[in-house]
Amino acid sequence: MRSFFSALLLLLLSVSFSFSQSTAKLYINASDPRVTISRHIYGHFSEHLGRCIYDGFWVGENSSIPNKGRIRLDIVEALKKIKIPNLRWPGGCFADEYHWRDGIGPRKQRPTMINTNWGNVTEDNSFGTHEFLELCDMLGCEPYITGNVGSGTVSEMNNWVEYLNFDGQSPLTTLRKENGRNKPWNVSFWGVGNESWGCGGNMTPEYYVNEYKRYATFAKNYPNARLKKIACGASDGDYNWTDVLMKNVGTRMWGLSLHYYTVPKSWSDKGSATSFDEKEYFTTMKKCLFMDELVTRHGTIMDKYDPDKRVAMVVDEWGIWTNVEPDSNPAFLYQQNSLRDALVAGTTLNIFNNHADRVRMANLAQTVNVLQSLVLTQGNKMLLTPTYHVFDLYKVHQDAKLLPLQLNVPDYQYGDQKMPAVNASASVDSTGAIHISLVNLDAAHTIPVTTTISGSNWHTVEGQVLTAAKFTDINTFDQPGNIRPVPFSHARKEGDQLVANLPPLSVVVLTLK
């Protein structure tokens, strides 16, 4: 008899353990939200690289594609829909070989240059300062300009700031008016160089500190245009770079950048954007989750010198980087965009949201036809990628208040490796609506999530889900709607709790009112 009860107890424990390992529990504190999720976390990046600007935003002079002053209108409307808050330009590595005066004035008189970073193609400078800022005006977003520290001069950057932001009389403001712009643009976000540890000059952090101070000193504030200067920060886990910058620059910068790319395999063979197995998918998502450790550890160093968190962490290059598409120019970094990319985007944005006390700006690389794009174009055709749809779903978090959460989730296991199967973030907007974004990384299992919310008396739930049958699924120009958000009907209120069943490989956003 004893052996029977022992066996029964073991069976019950086994069932209980199995149940606990296949379900997730989420606890959200809505009692006293204080931290704002800055809308600038949802920023984007457009470099003079491949077909991002030319044959992306910027169409031919006599193009039949609907445009305004050569700026492609279907892309503009798509980006306005997701409330793009800022756009970084002109690079990237290109920024440190770009001389802004070459891109102003009558287009036929602008000198050409060679884009040595991205394929040695000829840059005709037809898309320059005025064109970029007209694009930002059309998008209703803030420009984020990266100045040339690598091959430029202090005077060059100082003059660019004056050309854009001074409203008085000077030779530069006269030149601006002659070029068609009477009033200043009042650009506040300025990057002082890009990747100065690499393509921006191969500098040591100690050397860059002095360069930053010199350039930043002469980048002047003007009335209605107080600069938010962003120093070049670390690549990946270079924690020493962050320490040196925080120790020697500290709060004399508005923000400090961080760059990290999710590379599925290795830098020598990054892996295909569309052809990969579960092992490679698993490895990719585990590398994506490493962003949380990077933000935490760099943030801890920043806290040591800046406990009040006055300096923003600016993750102004992030995303998945794969091999280019077959038969495309290897220097143009054109890659397709699968459901895996959407899961990378949703997971990364959840990480940024949950670190919103320090991460106050970020820029996905890049907006059109380059790396993890929002938009792909082919002649007059345009498609919205799975990544675009994540930004559309997550726009509810922009400038909402972060709701702290605790998450107890099962593991997603592959071989002897494992990682959390579910990640999430939550916020409350100005109307009192609560938004919860959840990502199920598990490739095979639906995961029930039971959520307890303290400090909120909610009554209804509705949601949307982005998913597909396979992590390799993509949108194509012939079938642009393969992967798109659809209404989510597997969430309900049970007593005081929210219960949702997350499909495998899914991004779900719920709204509680």
Beta partners for residue 442, in sequence order: none
Known active-site residue 195: yes
d(CA 222, CA 148): 20
Residue located via tokens 């120093």: 231
Of the residues 61, 195, 206, 293, which is catalytic?
Answer: 195
Element (H, E) at 393: helix 386-394
Burial 206-228, CB ≥16 within 10 A → b, else e: eebbebbeebbeebeebeebebb
Give yes or no for a contact between 113 and 123, defined as CB atoms under 8 angstroms apart: yes
Tell me the pTM.
Answer: 0.94
Nearest to 339 by CA among 504, 170, 116, 225: 504
d(CA 170, CA 51): 36
The pair of three-digit structure tokens given for residue 179, joined into one six-digit string: 């070029």
Residue span(s) of the chain under CATH 3.20.20.80 come to 39-399
Residue located via tokens 């008189």: 109
The pair of three-digit structure tokens given for residue 170, joined into one six-digit string: 């000077």
d(CA 408, CA 422): 9
User: What's the confidence (pLDDT) of residue 19?
Assistant: 40
Work out the angle at residue 399's Cα, subtended by the Cα atoms of residues 393 and 405, and round it to the nearest 5 degrees: 75
3-state percent breakdown (helix, strand, coil) of the chain, nearest 5:
30, 30, 40
d(CA 191, CA 145): 6
Pick 39-399's CATH classification: 2.40.160.40, 3.20.20.80, 3.20.20.140, 3.40.1380.10. 3.20.20.80
Length of the chain: 513
User: What's the confidence (pLDDT) of residue 1?
Assistant: 41
User: What's the confidence (pLDDT) of residue 6?
Assistant: 37
3-state secondary structure of 449: strand
Work out the angle at residue 320's Cα, subtended by the Cα atoms of residues 318 and 322, and round it to the nearest 5 degrees: 135
User: What's the confidence (pLDDT) of residue 13?
Assistant: 31
Of the residues 123, 317, 325, 494, which is catalytic?
Answer: 317
Residue span(s) of the chain under CATH 2.60.40.1180 come to 22-33+403-512
d(CA 465, CA 471): 15
Per-residue pLDDT for the chain (513 aa), expressed as one digit of tens each?
434 333 333 333 333 333 445 899 999 999 989 999 999 999 999 999 999 999 999 999 999 999 999 999 999 999 999 999 999 999 999 999 999 999 999 999 999 999 999 999 999 999 999 999 999 999 999 999 999 999 999 999 999 999 999 999 999 999 999 999 999 999 999 999 999 999 999 999 999 999 999 999 999 999 999 999 999 999 999 999 999 999 999 999 999 999 999 999 999 999 999 999 999 999 999 999 999 999 999 999 999 999 999 999 999 999 999 999 999 999 999 999 999 999 999 999 999 999 999 999 999 999 999 999 999 999 999 999 999 999 999 999 999 999 999 999 999 999 999 999 999 999 999 999 999 999 999 999 999 999 999 999 999 999 999 999 999 999 999 999 999 999 999 999 999 999 999 999 999 999 999
Nearest to 95 by CA among 196, 176, 187: 196
Architecture of domain 22-33+403-512: Sandwich (2.60)
Give yes or no for a contact between 20 and 12, defined as CB atoms under 8 angstroms apart: no
User: What's the confidence (pLDDT) of residue 9?
Assistant: 30
**C-alpha distances in Å from residue 254, one per residue of 32, 350, 506:** 27, 23, 36
User: What's the confidence (pLDDT) of residue 391?
Assistant: 98
User: What's the confidence (pLDDT) of residue 14?
Assistant: 36
End-to-end Cα distance, the chain = 54
User: What's the confidence (pLDDT) of residue 22?
Assistant: 86
Tell how far CA 171 is from the center of its chain: 38
H-type alpha helices, 30-84: 73-81
